[in-house]
Amino acid sequence: MLRVSPTVRGSGGEAPSPRRSPQGWGTHRLAQEESMAIVVIAETPGVTAADDEAIQQRLNLAAQPPAGALARLAGPIDGGWRVLSVWESPEAWETFRRERLEPALQQAGRPTPSFQVWPVHTMRMAPQAR
């Protein structure tokens, strides 16, 4: 389980409001003893917004969000579609990928994209996103 610390340090080392930095952004520093959160990036040529929506419906993401998923962003790229997702841990991502995503893609006749996985050290969220 991802644990985050709401403490934010200003330029002078003082601790401002625990949920907001001086710029208004909430900063969440990931605890080192916990599993590292990750961002997964998938780019798929030939996929459209309608294709992405169909896969989301097949996965039933609205009613059954994946365990460990923190955020999902998707949009067009030149000639295809990009999805960025933030996960509490690599294990949460791998479970979702193996048990839900790849079977849904296979059933829809879609290829499994290649995935880039990046570790996350800090997450910042604008106040209106909370």
Helix (H), strand (E) counts: the chain: 3, 7
Residue 59: per-residue pLDDT: 96
pLDDT higher for 79 or 3?
79
The residue type found at 113 is P
- Work out the mean pLDDT of the chain and round it to a whole number: 80
**Per-domain boundaries in the chain:** 4-129
Q: How far is the CA of 112 from the CAs of 16, 63, 94, in angstroms?
A: 45, 23, 14
Which whole number is the average pLDDT over 94-102? Answer: 97
pLDDT in tens, 32-42: 446 799 999 99
Q: Is the pLDDT of residue 7 over 60?
A: no
Q: What is the pLDDT of residues 56-71, one digit of tens each?
A: 999 999 999 999 999 9
Residue reference for tokens 């841990």: 89
CATH of 4-129, one of 1.10.1740.10, 3.40.50.920, 3.40.1440.10, 3.30.70.100: 3.30.70.100
The better pLDDT of the pair 29, 42 is held by 42
For residue 77, the cross-strand partners are: 80
Give me 122's structure tokens.
């800090």
More confident call, 80 vs 31: 80
Most confident of 2-6, 29-33, 98-102: 98-102
Query: What's residue 26's pLDDT?
Result: 53
At residue 80, the 3 state secondary structure works out as strand
Q: How far apart are CA 7 and CA 3, in angstroms?
A: 12
Predicted local distance difference test score (pLDDT) of residue 34: 61
Query: Phi first, then psi: what are they for 40, rounded to 5°?
Result: -110, 130
Given this model, what pLDDT does residue 111 score?
87
